Amino acid sequence: MKRTVTFELGSRKYKFTTTDPQQEVDETLNAIREEFENYAQIVDKHGYDKVFLMMLLNNVHENIVLKERIKELTKKFELTDSADE
């Protein structure tokens, strides 16, 4: 079921529509808030846009690194699995 979620980040409010389970929404928003807090002290100096860009770049980079690690582990598992046969 579609619903609108409103959350505050710094001094701003944001709204979005989602069908995701509430637990996933809460977990996502909490992670965003925690990361934002790491950069909150530079918002006044650099502005929200640069802080959000920095957060996005860090997140995308982390996802790329994790995907590569999963590929490595999958290959390792496949090699280990075929050695057992």
pTM assigned to the model:
0.75
SS (H, E, C) 35-74: HHHHHHHHHHHHHHHHHHHHHHHHHHHHHHHHHHHHHHHH
Q: What is the mean pLDDT of residues 28-46?
A: 92
Q: How confident is the model at residue 85 (pLDDT cuts 50, 70, 90)?
A: low
Q: How confident is the model at residue 49 (pLDDT cuts 50, 70, 90)?
A: very high
Q: What is the mean pLDDT of residues 18-37?
A: 96
Q: What is the mean pLDDT of residues 42-54?
A: 92
Which alpha helices (H) appear in 1-42, and where do they start and end? Answer: 22-39
Indicate whether 32 pLDDT > 70: yes
